[in-house]
Every structure is written in structure tokens, then in C-alpha cells.
Chain A
Amino acid sequence: MSTAAVSRPVTAYPAGRPPSLWWAAAGWVAVPFVAAALGHDRFASTTLAAAAVQGLFAVSWVLLAVSGQPSLGHALPYGAGAYAAAFVARRAGLHAGDLGGLMPVVLTVAAAIAGGCFGALQGRLTRRLAPAFLAVVTLAMVEAGRTLATMWMAPVLRGGADADASIPIVPFPSDDRAAAWITAAAFGAGVLLVTALVRSRTGVALRAAAGGERAAEALGFDAPRLRLFAFVAAGTIAGTAGALAAQLSGHVSPLMLSWQTSLFAPAAALIGGAATVAGPAAAGYAGAAVAQFLDVPSPLQLLVLAAVLVAAGLRDPQHLFGPAFSWNPRPRNGP
């Protein structure tokens, strides 16, 4: 047998660590801060703040991509976080300036916990499902979540708009420039946290879990538990993003649990490339900024996301949502 016949082991993730990972991440941590410093008018500040929140949401999805779980229902922990913040604020009767000015922190922590819990629910129910079915089941869960959110405020609403069922929440911060800085900080922290996780031993284990249960077990990893961990961690970050989005806009609405919100994160990962953390973060940040700047209507945004999914699936079906995904793939072999 010739040595040429011995194929290299196929890994679920490209071998070795991309050397530029930290540099790229650090670069993308800096961008929102620079943009916040340059944005002087109110429109620019609110656009940048919204973009940073969406970037944080998009980067949280990387943990699911790394662990081979292409959830299309990531808006569930995001929206659950936002609704948890609104629920806590309403039940506790909180107002601006309460709790010694720590109210936004308390609401954000509550949202992160809720996001983690809903991520755990998704992970628990789908941890043994094949990726295609995982995607569909999580998508159905987010549709159910949106419907329940609509019912919460308008139980007998028939044919009304989702906006009718929105819940007000104390806006934070009141200053637009401060909002841009705070969200930039949250975005930067999220990018660094996900980068650190992906590069850590846990990240290696998550990649092993993406490869398959037996392969992961052979390496000493508990694949189902790792997949659950990925859902919890991604849900916690998404819940935090949801709370920030709610406090920035001053209300929570079922639109936060829409398919459009849900598909935004996987589309950002496809555009930016799931092999890096900075790629999806950049795509999420830039995409949300453009949508906000041009005031693109929701149905058109959903159409664009659909186009991204179709184009990506047809370009490189073999590696869709995987780290090896490319918009310019090599000629492919059969499955």
C-alpha cells in the first residue's frame, strides 16, 4: 500500500488554530468603539447601538455552529431575555433610577438567566436530533414562542399586528451616545468571550462533539452534555442581547421572536464565515447597521435573509453552517 493512499483524518473543524483569530477579534472589538466616538448625531448613535446589539446576538450563534447545531430558532433565548427583563421590571414595579441605578444590570442579569434557561430547553429537546431536524424543531419552537408572546398582552387578538402586543420597559440609557458606548462594550465583551471559549479546551471539545458522539466519546468528551452547554452559553449571550435591545428601544414586542430575527444570526455566520468569531460578528454588526440606516422594511429583510440561505445552500451544501463553508468552494464530490 502506498503512503499516498493513506488519507488525512477528516476533522469537523480545520486543523490548527487560525493565527489571526485574536487579531481579527480585537479588530472587531475596536470598530464599535471607534464608530461610537465618531458618531455625533442622534441617528448615528442609535444606529450604532442597535448594530452592536445585533452583532452580539450574531456572535452568540457561533457557539452553536462550532458544536454542529445549526439552530434556526436562536430568537427564542433572545426574545425570552427581553421578555424576562420586561416581566421583572413590571412585577417589581421598577422605575428609572431604582435599585441605586443598578436596575439595568439587574434586568440584564435576569434576561441572561432566562436566555440560558430557554437555550437549555432547546438543547435538551434537540440534543440527539440530526442537524436538519434540529433546525426545523428550533424554528417551530420560536414560532410557538412568538405566538405565546402575542397572547401574553393580547390573549384574544385576532389578526392584529405584533406591534399591538408590545410591552413598554424603562429605556436605558437615556443618552444616545452613552447607549452607543455601552452596547459597544457589550459587543466587545461578547466577541472576546466567544473567542476565548472557541480557543479554549472547551472549544476543542465542542468541535469534537460536532463530529459525532462516538468520535467525541473516544476522545473522552461527553457529546450530549457539550451540545447542551453550547445551547446554554449561546442562549445566555443572546438573552443579554435581548435585554439590551429591549432597554434601548423602550419596549418588548413579539417581533423579537420572529423568524426574521431568528434567521439573522445564521445568515450572519454564513456571510462572515463560521470558522472565525470575528466574521459573524462583523457581518452581524454591518448587516444590522445597514438595515437600520436604510430603514429596510421587515418583509424585505426576511427576503434578503432567505436569499442568503438559498445562495449559501446551493454554493456549498456539504459544509453549510460548518467552519469549512466557503462561498467559493472547490468542485464537490458526492455525499
Chain B
Amino acid sequence: MDLAAQLIVSGLLAGAPYALAAWGMAVALATGTLNLTLGLFFTLGAYSALEATARGLPASYAAPAAALAAFVLGLGIERVFVRPLRGWPLATAVVLLGVALAGEYAVGLLWGTADRSVPLKLEVLQIEHVVVAGLELFVAAGAALAFFAVIASARRTRAGLAVRAAAENPEIASCAGLDVERLRVWAFAAGCAAAAAAGAFVAPITPLSPAMGRGALIFSLAAVAAGGPGLPGLLAASLTLGVITQAPANYVAPQWAVVVPAAVLAGAAAWRRTPLWRRAEA
């Protein structure tokens, strides 16, 4: 019973930052782009936390800076690689995958291919029989704060409402006077920023490597496939995935953190009836 409680708490704490990355995937996907550079932005966010601590700054400072830089870089990638391919989702996905792999190579050149870690020591808390590392709590709290800021902006601001309208029905949104093209650009860049922030939050609790974003990419896709594009479903899927991933990853082998989301992605893609994912019945 204690072990189950421990696993659930650890899983929820670990799943929180990935929920932010999953939102980044969902918002780009809702506006018609399968953003496969998301893993790269996650990696860049993590390495920005490494750079921040190397300069004597707290790792938490890296998240907003990384998000801002990722937003600007996302705008550039959208302009060069996504906009010319609008309407060809396969070509967009493949080109973005190529960009992500080139980015991985660049990260390897800049920071080396060996694993790195972000030093951040916090106290360990014990609540009844459940042990919570202060680090995990810090990471989850930061990610939760960012996630709820995203929810608030999506639900309470005019910009968020416009993006949701454009995602729901681009034609009607366009008729209502919204600049759907611009909203797509902003949604793509916002997704990149969310992924970078998630990477910066996760950096203190995971080894850093140029290919670390692949796991985050698969996790995000699995969360979107299983939970759907809506925020409650996405949050529930991300946290559940965090729980069911953490148990084997902590107690059997860390590699399960990739295998479990990939299995969930494949299963959800096969059995969930999401129209966006289905082959056109031409």
C-alpha cells in the first residue's frame, strides 16, 4: 500500500512537466501541424538549465528564458519549414523530423554527446510513509504553475479563445474575421516554448543527452493520442502515463520510460477513433 502510494506520488510529480510538453504538441496539432521538433526544444530547454546553473544562476531561471528563446526560434522554423508545406502533413512532419535530427547533431557539437547533469540539491520530505524528493516537488510545482498559466491564457484571454476557435473550425474562424494563419504561427511557437520550459523543469531530475528529447516527443504524442486534444484529457493522460511509466522505470530499468509511452502511443493510435489521425477514405 505504501509502495503504491509512493509510486503514484512519484509518477504524478514526474508526469507534470511532460504534461506541459504534451500541451505543446496538442496545440500545434490542433492547428494542423505535427510538430516533431518538440523533442529538440525539450532538449534545448534542458541544456539551457545546465547553462544557467553553470553560470551560478538557479535552474528555475532557465525556464522562462528558454521558453522565450524557443518561441522566437519556433517562429523562425515555422516561417522557413512549416508555412511553405501547409496542407501537406506528411512532408511537414518529415521535414520537421529532419530539422530535429540536425538540431540534435548541433547540440552534440555544442555540449558533447556524453550524459550531463544539472546540479540542484534540495531537501527530502517525508509525508507519512511517502518520501518526496524536494527536487521532484520543485520540478512538479514549476511545471504545474506553467501548465495552469497555459490553461488560464487558453480559457480567459482573447488570444486563447481565438486559437481554440481556429483549431475547432478554421473556415468559420476566418469568416469571423480571425487571422487563422497568424494564429497557427503563434500556436506552433507557443508549443515550442512549452516544450522548452518543460525541458528546463525536467533537467535537474534527468540525465541530459542530445537525444533526450526523443523520449519527451514520444511521451507527448502518447499523451495526445490517449487523452485527446482537450486540456482535461491531456492532463489526465499525461499524469496517468507518468504514473505507469515511473513504476517500471524506477524499479526495473530506466529504459521503460521510453517503452511504455511508445506502447501507449501505438495502442491509442490503433484503437482510438481520432479523425485527425485516420487515413482519408478517398
The interface residues of chain A lying within 8 Å CB-to-CB of B94 are 70, 72, 135, 309, 312-313, 320
The answer to whether B95 and A310 have CB atoms under 8 Å apart is yes
- Expressed in whole angstroms, the minimum distance between the Cβ of B94 and any Cβ of chain A is 5
Q: CA–CA, A139 to B90, complex, Å?
A: 13
A101-112 to B contact mask, C-beta < 8 Å, 1/0:
000000000000
Interface hits, A110-142 → B, CB 8 Å: 124-126, 128-133, 135-137, 139-141
Which of these, A136, A259, A309, contacts B34 with CB under 8 Å?
A: A136
The answer to whether A148 and B255 have CB atoms under 8 Å apart is yes
The answer to whether B282 and A307 have CB atoms under 8 Å apart is no
The answer to whether A307 and B93 have CB atoms under 8 Å apart is no
The answer to whether A212 and B282 have CB atoms under 8 Å apart is yes
Q: CA–CA, A318 to B88, complex, Å?
A: 6
The answer to whether B34 and A144 have CB atoms under 8 Å apart is no
The interface residues of chain A lying within 8 Å CB-to-CB of B281 are 212-214
Q: CA–CA, A300 to B85, complex, Å?
A: 26
The count of chain A contact residues (Cβ–Cβ below 8 Å) is: 53
Q: CA–CA, A211 to B252, complex, Å?
A: 45
The interface residues of chain A lying within 8 Å CB-to-CB of B252 are 155
The answer to whether A140 and B218 have CB atoms under 8 Å apart is yes
B119 close to chain A: CB less than 8 A: no
The interface residues of chain B lying within 8 Å CB-to-CB of A135 are 90, 93-94
The answer to whether A159 and B115 have CB atoms under 8 Å apart is yes
Q: CA–CA, A157 to B115, complex, Å?
A: 13
A290 close to chain B: CB less than 8 A: no
The answer to whether B269 and A305 have CB atoms under 8 Å apart is no
The answer to whether B90 and A70 have CB atoms under 8 Å apart is yes
The interface residues of chain A lying within 8 Å CB-to-CB of B232 are none
The interface residues of chain A lying within 8 Å CB-to-CB of B218 are 140, 143-144
State the main secondary structure of chain B at its contact with A.
Answer: helix
The answer to whether B221 and A314 have CB atoms under 8 Å apart is no
Known A144-B258, A321-B90; contact A131-B279, beta-carbon cutoff 8 A: yes
The interface residues of chain A lying within 8 Å CB-to-CB of B105 are 299-300, 302-303, 306
B85-119 to A contact mask, C-beta < 8 Å, 1/0:
11111111111011101101100100001010000
The answer to whether A125 and B267 have CB atoms under 8 Å apart is yes
The answer to whether B91 and A320 have CB atoms under 8 Å apart is yes
A317 close to chain B: CB less than 8 A: yes
- Expressed in whole angstroms, the minimum distance between the Cβ of B230 and any Cβ of chain A is 19
Q: CA–CA, A231 to B209, complex, Å?
A: 33
Q: CA–CA, A214 to B281, complex, Å?
A: 6
- Expressed in whole angstroms, the minimum distance between the Cβ of A333 and any Cβ of chain B is 10
The interface residues of chain B lying within 8 Å CB-to-CB of A125 are 266-267, 269-270
- Expressed in whole angstroms, the minimum distance between the Cβ of B74 and any Cβ of chain A is 17
Q: CA–CA, A140 to B150, complex, Å?
A: 27
Known A147-B255, A303-B105; contact A131-B98, beta-carbon cutoff 8 A: no
CB nearest neighbor in B for A258: B211
The answer to whether A131 and B90 have CB atoms under 8 Å apart is yes
A296 close to chain B: CB less than 8 A: no
The answer to whether A310 and B102 have CB atoms under 8 Å apart is yes
B207 close to chain A: CB less than 8 A: yes
The answer to whether B255 and A137 have CB atoms under 8 Å apart is no
A150 close to chain B: CB less than 8 A: yes
The count of chain B contact residues (Cβ–Cβ below 8 Å) is: 52
The answer to whether B221 and A136 have CB atoms under 8 Å apart is yes
A6 close to chain B: CB less than 8 A: no
Known A135-B93, A159-B207, A303-B105; contact A214-B263, beta-carbon cutoff 8 A: no
Interface centre among A129, A137, A140, A321, by most B CB within 10 Å? A140
B254 close to chain A: CB less than 8 A: yes
Which of these, B85, B214, B253, B277, contacts A133 with CB under 8 Å?
A: B277
B265 close to chain A: CB less than 8 A: yes
B52-91 to A contact mask, C-beta < 8 Å, 1/0:
0000000000000000000000000000010011111111
Q: CA–CA, A155 to B248, complex, Å?
A: 12
- Expressed in whole angstroms, the minimum distance between the Cβ of A183 and any Cβ of chain B is 29
The answer to whether B102 and A143 have CB atoms under 8 Å apart is no
Which of these, B85, B115, B258, contacts A147 with CB under 8 Å?
A: B258
The answer to whether A148 and B101 have CB atoms under 8 Å apart is no
The interface residues of chain A lying within 8 Å CB-to-CB of B282 are 211-215
Q: CA–CA, A127 to B95, complex, Å?
A: 23
The answer to whether A140 and B262 have CB atoms under 8 Å apart is yes
The interface residues of chain A lying within 8 Å CB-to-CB of B129 are none
Q: CA–CA, A8 to B98, complex, Å?
A: 35
A335 close to chain B: CB less than 8 A: yes
Q: CA–CA, A213 to B91, complex, Å?
A: 21
The answer to whether A132 and B270 have CB atoms under 8 Å apart is no
The answer to whether A306 and B102 have CB atoms under 8 Å apart is yes
Q: Which 3 A-B pairs have the closest CB atoms?
A: A335-B87, A212-B282, A317-B91
A/B interface sample: 11 pairs, CB < 8 A: A70-B90, A125-B269, A128-B279, A135-B94, A143-B214, A148-B259, A302-B101, A302-B104, A306-B105, A310-B102, A318-B88
Since A159-B209, A212-B281 are in contact, a sample of 9 more A-B pairs with Cβ atoms closer than 8 Å, ordered by chain A residue number, is: A70-B94, A128-B278, A129-B279, A155-B252, A214-B281, A299-B108, A300-B105, A306-B99, A313-B92
